Structure 1
Amino acid sequence: MERKNMIIIGVIVVIIAIIGIVFATGALNNKNQISTPFDTEFMSGAFAGNAEKANTNESYVASFTDNEHNVTYNLTTVDNSSALMEIYQLQGVKGPEHRSFNGNNWNIYFGEAVPSVNNTTNVTSNESMGIVICECQKESQGYIIHIIFADLKKVNFTLNTFGDSYVNFVEPLLKTVNLKQSSNVPALHDQYGMSQADFQKQMDMVHQIKAGNYSALQQGT
């Protein structure tokens, strides 16, 4: 009888050890087992899932697509990402939520969009896409990650950072991101085809509108 009990105890110990190994290696998390590392001139890290890089002509723009989960990642850097997000907010983007990983303070925004005809994402209908925008402004350089979910319903997208889309794709990415300081960072006013002075006038108007002075919008037209 004592020998039988020892055998049972031994089996239980082995089972517990196996369970410990499974959890330690993440073997039970088979949804996003594949991890795709990336390295650009301004940012490196890893995506949760198998993401393929798209060809781009700009050194400060990179795009990756995870066809299995219908997720597209667009990475970019500019001198003033905070100003860009203020413009996005006027266009209806919600947020931000704030998260910090690896010494990087991220502002996380949420929105929806209807795919265009020439969209690079894997979209087969005109249904709305879910978009998560992660932005981090350093002293002289800002970083932006647009994460586009082609099917809004499948990812259980809600306007907060605790939906499936955030847990399964956004946070795992941000935990791996390393931001690089670049030379000749693209200027945001150049991206809008404006001089620095004209762009500043537009930003002054944005600030007035955000403060509730909607007459500034009429003055700017």
Structure 2
Amino acid sequence: MENKNIIIIAVVVVIIAILGVIFATGILNGGEKTAGVTTPFKTEFMEGTFAGNVSLENNSEKVMYSYEDKENKITYNISTVDDSDALMNIYYLQGVKNPEKRSFNGNDWNIYFTQAVQGNDSNSSDKPMNIIICQSQGEKQGYLIYMIIDAKSKVNATLNTYGESYTGFVEPLLKSITLKESKNVPKIYDEFGLTKDQFNQQMDLVKQYKAGNTSVLQQQQEAAAE
């Protein structure tokens, strides 16, 4: 009996040692990205913390920032606009629809999953980039986070809330975020180079399309060609 107890104790010690190595190296959680490395960021309209080692790449515009996780080949574009709901309605025409809905820190987020071919080449044989768009509309302005996962990234970019790209990167980011009201928020119609009336006309067509009148886009194209 004493020998059996010694064997059991030895096995337990080995298991504890193995678990210690697993948690220390992050093997169960994706290895390098969960080694405790996080990167805080702060802009005039949003602040939070990225998972992993992320660097600021472009802040030439105070309403748009670009960050990059070179190790995991992930780009984050963060921006603000007065009406992000209108923008997502436009993306609807491109197939970006049916968002997952989550709430963190009192902020309601719509989370969209989509793909894009690098270089906008529809005939490209390259694997597509996976994109997760997180959108939140406040009373006075909207907030957008684009997570662009390179086709060569080792991150599991399953296009749902169960994949590593969401559970390991997006959700921790959203949980950390504080949204702030800022000055000089761009108007959505200015971003498209339209007047407010012109933009409203376009949005009316989008609403008709979403309501089931899919012919409105063809009619618009025909009118533009005349």
Give the TM-score taking structure 1 as reference length.
0.82
Any gaps of 5 or more consecutive residues in structure 2? 222-226
Query: Counterpart of 1:142?
Result: 142
Query: Counterpart of 2:188?
Result: 188
> Do 2:208 and 2:216's aligned partners in 1 also have CA atoms closer than 8 Å?
yes
Query: Counterpart of 1:31?
Result: 32
Is 1:132 the counterpart of 2:135? The answer is: no
> Do 2:39 and 2:53's aligned partners in 1 also have CA atoms closer than 8 Å?
yes
Query: Counterpart of 1:57?
Result: 60
Structure 1 residue 214, shift from structure 2 partner: 1.6
Any gaps of 5 or more consecutive residues in structure 1? 118-124
Alpha-carbon distance between aligned partners in 2 of 1:57 and 1:152, rounded to the nearest angstrom: 27
Alpha-carbon distance between aligned partners in 2 of 1:186 and 1:116, rounded to the nearest angstrom: 27
Aligned-pair identity (%): 54
| Residues 27, 176 of structure 1: alpha-carbon distance in 2 compared, 3 angstrom cutoff | farther
* Residue type of the alignment partner of 1:40: T
Alpha-carbon distance between aligned partners in 2 of 1:162 and 1:95, rounded to the nearest angstrom: 16
* Residue type of the alignment partner of 1:31: E
> Do 2:81 and 2:188's aligned partners in 1 also have CA atoms closer than 8 Å?
yes
Alpha-carbon distance between aligned partners in 2 of 1:153 and 1:57, rounded to the nearest angstrom: 26
Alpha-carbon distance between aligned partners in 1 of 2:52 and 2:97, rounded to the nearest angstrom: 26
Structure 1 residue 144, shift from structure 2 partner: 0.2
Moved more, 210-219 or 191-200: 210-219
| Residues 152, 96 of structure 1: alpha-carbon distance in 2 compared, 3 angstrom cutoff | farther
1:37-186 to structure 2, matched below 5 A, reads 37-116=40-119, 126-151=126-151, 154-186=154-186
1:72-102 Cα shifts (integer Å, max 9, x gaps): 0000000000111111121012430001111
> Do 2:85 and 2:137's aligned partners in 1 also have CA atoms closer than 8 Å?
yes
Alpha-carbon distance between aligned partners in 2 of 1:181 and 1:168, rounded to the nearest angstrom: 28
Structure 1 residue 168, shift from structure 2 partner: 0.9
1:197-208 to structure 2, matched below 5 A, reads 197-208=197-208
Secondary structure of 1:95 counterpart: coil
Alpha-carbon distance between aligned partners in 2 of 1:40 and 1:153, rounded to the nearest angstrom: 27
Give the TM-score taking structure 2 as reference length.
0.80
Is 1:210 the counterpart of 2:197? The answer is: no
Alpha-carbon distance between aligned partners in 2 of 1:53 and 1:201, rounded to the nearest angstrom: 37
Structure 1 residue 27, shift from structure 2 partner: 7.3
The alignment covers a number of residue pairs equal to 205
Moved more, 74-83 or 50-59: 50-59
Secondary structure of 2:118 counterpart: coil
Calculate the aligned-residue CA RMSD, in Å.
2.9
1:190-213 Cα shifts (integer Å, max 9, x gaps): 000000110010001001001110
> Do 1:136 and 1:144's aligned partners in 2 also have CA atoms closer than 8 Å?
yes
> Do 1:44 and 1:177's aligned partners in 2 also have CA atoms closer than 8 Å?
yes
> Do 1:109 and 1:132's aligned partners in 2 also have CA atoms closer than 8 Å?
yes
1:8-52 Cα shifts (integer Å, max 9, x gaps): x9xx9xx99xx89x98xx875553231000001111001101011
